[in-house]
């Protein structure tokens, strides 16, 4: 994958950002807004079959950024549905890996979940082996210094890199998420050190003070210092999708924020997100 001919980054939107819309509506909206790609969420596909959805995506001209399976972690998560046992969860991820392959994602997201690291590594090893066998990539996401105990056993790029290197599969990389990692100690050095392992990038703004884990804002709004992070990723050689991923709870996860971005018209939201991300991109060298 390479950058656009005009030197601009490849901008995509992760489908959770337009939570209420269906898959077909998202494809139409994202393509009309001038996006380069879409981050497919399996939950938007329903029970299948997926032939029509795959055909819609191919006809749209959109690329496929990091995809998110219905069960995204080896150990169980709060608030998200799925089996309680890591063995069953691993089997679910393996099933999703094959299903999502039809959409040609740059990577498929996975994280450890909270709890026992050894169990998570064992499951990830199996998932990575299958991804390698079928020509897919797994993107392991660390969750930053906040919310660690509830969501993940990894909090930095370095933590994730240790697991990737321990497993030793070329199909296993790291998902960089600006919202989670923005205030990680020595983050710019870690980006340079582990850039060769980055398989996907999620971007959003960080409201300060934040009201919860599902209270993200669009790139350029809030605190996350996104131009600096974009500059570091650019210098490190990242030329894949910058995938806008916005959780902004309107009551779906228990916190009904009156200014939820999930209640904004989808076309307006993704157009604004793309415009603001490109503004952050233009500022990256000055910020650096």
pLDDT of residue 53: 98
* DSSP string computed for 232-281: HHHHTT--SEEEE---B-BSTTS-B-TT-GGGS-HHHHHHHHHHHHHHHH
- The pLDDT, as a whole number, for residue 285 is 76
- pLDDT of 223 reads 87
- Would you say residue 3 lies in a domain? no
Which residues are CB-contacts of 46 (< 8 A; sequence separation ≥ 6)?
A: 23
Boundaries of domain holding 61? 10-287
Furthest C-alpha separation in the chain: 48
Alpha helices in the chain (DSSP H): 23-32, 51-60, 86-101, 117-134, 148-151, 157-167, 178-181, 187-194, 226-235, 266-282, 284-287
Residue-level pLDDT at 125: 98
132-173: per-residue pLDDT in tens?
A: 999 999 999 999 876 556 788 899 999 999 999 999 999 999
Low pLDDT (below 50) residues in the chain: 1
DSSP tag of 203: E
With respect to residue 157, please indicate whether it lies within any of the assigned structural domains.
yes
Asked if residue 248 belongs to a domain, the reply is yes
Domain count, the chain: 1
Q: Residue 49: its pLDDT value, please? A: 96
Q: What pLDDT is recorded for position 288?
A: 54
Answer whether residue 4 is part of any domain: no
What is the model's pLDDT at position 80?
A: 81
Residue 54 in domain: yes
CA distance 260 to 275: 19
**Contact criterion met (CB below 8 Å) for 213 and 180:** no
Can you say whether residue 35 is alpha, beta or left, with left for phi > 0 and alpha for psi between -120 and 50 degrees? beta
Residue 41 inside a domain? The answer is yes
Quote the tokens at residue 171: 């199909």
Closest to 148 in 3D by CA, of 115, 100, 183, 185: 115
Q: Establish if 227 belongs to a structural domain.
A: yes
CATH of the domain at 201: 3.20.20.150
Instruction: Indicate the pTM of the whole model.
Output: 0.96
Is the CB of residue 117 less than 8 Å from the CB of residue 159? no
Q: What is the pLDDT at residue 78?
A: 80
Q: Is residue 252 part of a domain?
A: yes
């Amino acid at each position: 994958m390479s950058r656009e001919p005009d030197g601009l980054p490849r901008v995509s939107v992760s489908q959770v950002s337009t939570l209420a819309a269906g898959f077909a509506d998202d494809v139409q909206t994202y393509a009309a807004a001038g996006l380069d790609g879409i981050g497919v969420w399996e939950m938007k596909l329903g029970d299948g079959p997926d032939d029509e959805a795959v055909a819609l995506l191919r006809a749209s001209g959109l690329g496929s950024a990091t995809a998110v399976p219905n069960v995204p972690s080896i150990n169980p998560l709060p608030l998200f549905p799925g089996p309680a046992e890591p063995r069953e969860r691993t089997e679910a991820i393996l099933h999703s890996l094959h299903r999502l392959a039809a959409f040609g994602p740059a990577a498929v997201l996975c994280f450890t979940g909270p709890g026992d690291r050894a169990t998570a590594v064992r499951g990830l090893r199996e998932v990575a082996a299958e991804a390698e066998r079928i020509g897919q990539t797994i993107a392991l996401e660390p969750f930053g210094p906040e919310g660690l105990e509830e969501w993940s056993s990894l909090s930095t790029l370095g933590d994730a890199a240790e697991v990737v290197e321990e497993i030793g599969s070329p199909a296993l990389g790291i998902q960089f998420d600006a919202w989670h990692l923005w205030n990680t100690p020595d983050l710019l050095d870690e980006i340079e050190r582990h850039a060769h392992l980055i398989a996907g990038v999620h971007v959003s703004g960080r409201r300060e003070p934040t009201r919860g884990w599902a209270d993200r804002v669009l790139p350029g709004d809030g605190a996350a210092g996104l131009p600096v992070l974009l500059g570091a990723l650019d210098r490190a050689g990242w030329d894949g999708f910058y995938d806008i991923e916005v959780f902004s709870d309107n009551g779906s996860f228990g916190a009904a924020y009156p200014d939820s971005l999930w209640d904004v018209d989808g076309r307006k939201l993704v157009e604004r997100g793309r415009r603001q991300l490109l503004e952050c991109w233009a500022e990256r060298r000055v910020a650096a």
